[in-house]
A and B are shown apart, each in its own frame.
Chain A
Amino acid sequence: MREERIVLPVRLGELELSVMQHVWTEGPLDVKAVHRALGVERGISLNTVQSTMERLHRKRLLDREKVSHAYVYSARLSREEYGSRAVEDVLSGLMAGDTEPMMSAFVDFAARTGEETLARLERLIRERRAAASRKR
């Protein structure tokens, strides 16, 4: 069976990101536990936390399972997987060379430098370094 590819949402709100960070750190949690950790100090209601977690579920970032009378939410992607997907997304644009003018990378990702050229450049660098040392 083909693995389902999760489409990352355009942007997570501040509370959404905090909830995700908390679930990533603590593991599966119900709404009350998240509210105790994040909602109380922010002065936000249980309903707000509940709707935020439902939204994250709809965005397919959280899975949920009914345990007793409450839903327990867990992250569908680990923090690292989520980060990697976002970076992959950007890199796919860089590799295709179609991110100009929005992004500029330290090295040009759309075109790799050949081994011979790299070896020649390294030799040149060594020569210049040696010449600079002799001058000193």
Chain B
Amino acid sequence: MILLAAGAFSAIGAIAVATVYRLLRPSLGKIAAAQRAHLLLWWCAAPALTGLTFTAVCLAPSVGSLIGLGADHCLVHDDHHAHLCVLHVAVASLTPAGWGFALALLLWWLGSAAPQILRVLGESVRLRRLEGVAQPGHGGIRVVNTAVPVALTAGIWAASVYISKTLIDRLSPTQLRVVTEHEWAHVHRRDGLRKFMASLLCAMHFPGMRRKLMADLALACEQACDAEAAARVGDRIEVAEAIVAVERLFALGHPAPATTWSFVGGNVEPRVEALLDEPPSAHSLAPRWVMVLAALGTLGLALVGDSFHHETEALVGLLVR
């Protein structure tokens, strides 16, 4: 019963945050990339957090009774509907609608989270092969002897920076420094872990929204690392130049397959443009405002907790008997 309520709240939360995100998305670019990445992680977690928060509010009266702050709430009403409480956890049997809803929730979550976990396991195998052939390089990077001009950060818990010998040979010392600083920024910011958590938390979002959020998060992480590299090198234009130079080198040897031309652009264009524009204020209040709104919302819910609890019981009562 409690799990069913949490699932229902998560689903409602997913619809609500998807609607709000569509309205807010055009303004997100005005927020500094590092803060945007934090905000997007919270946004990924929003349906799950909504489910947890609303369920906690619903359970508050019975928890109050449990710790002696109030009378046993369930005695107030009869057994004409299901109890959503921690004191009288009864095994309620699901109605066909309840079974359908529970199954849909389970499939929804498994369908989105399981592929992510399988993908990470598959990538771990690839990464171990790469580790086996990489040689230690200057400043802790790992050098890979290949003709492909590649630089990447790989790993979730303990990430490493891999740069190919070809890229080292073909970039100018300043460009190489930009690339290295950018990749180390991913390591310091724990972007692998951030994106892994986001991909799991996103499981409660609708597929289209999930893709949009993950793409926006990836761009925010890249731009945050560009900004860190620019701060270390001391010139935003150098970073923009390095991005275009690497893109050109890679495109020379690896033109996009015909099927991907429709997606021409990737994230090079927004990254370079952001570097050439004035940097957004790092003290943007947007993430703080979201926190304040969430806290106020939770407080408001707590104030109407009792009636909210009853309405939820009536609603979930439709799914159980």
Which A residues have a C-beta under 8 Å from some C-beta of B?
Answer: 8-12, 17, 79-80, 82-84, 86-91, 93-95, 98-114, 117-118, 121-122, 124-125, 128-129, 132
Contact = CB atoms under 8 A, between A and B. Distances in A.
B268 A87 contact: no
Interface stretch (B68-76, B103-111, B188-196, B288-296): B188-196
B241 interface: yes
Nearest to B186: A104
Given A111-B256, A112-B256, A124-B276, 4 more contacts: A87-B146, A99-B126, A112-B260, A112-B261
B126 A93 contact: yes
Given A101-B199, A106-B246, A17 B132 contact: yes
Interface magnitude class on chain B: 35 or more
A95 B222 CA distance: 17
Nearest to B218: A100
B126 A117 contact: no
Interface string B269-307: 100110010000000000000000000000000000000
A134 B122 CA distance: 52
B182 interface: yes
Given A101-B195, A110-B263, A112-B266, A125 B153 contact: no
A121 B192 contact: no
B2 interface: no
15 contacts: A11-B132, A83-B145, A88-B148, A90-B130, A100-B195, A102-B196, A103-B127, A109-B150, A113-B266, A117-B264, A117-B268, A118-B247, A118-B248, A125-B237, A125-B241
Chain B contact residues: helix, strand, loop or mixed: helix
- Going nearest first, the 7 A-B pairs with the smallest beta carbon separation are A101-B195, A108-B266, A111-B266, A112-B256, A102-B123, A106-B151, A87-B146
A89 B195 contact: no
Interface of B: 116, 119-120, 122-133, 144-148, 150-156, 164, 179, 182-183, 186, 191-192, 194-196, 198-199, 214, 218, 221-222, 237, 240-241, 243-244, 246-248, 250-251, 254-257, 260-261, 263-269, 272-273, 276
A115 to B, nearest CB: 8
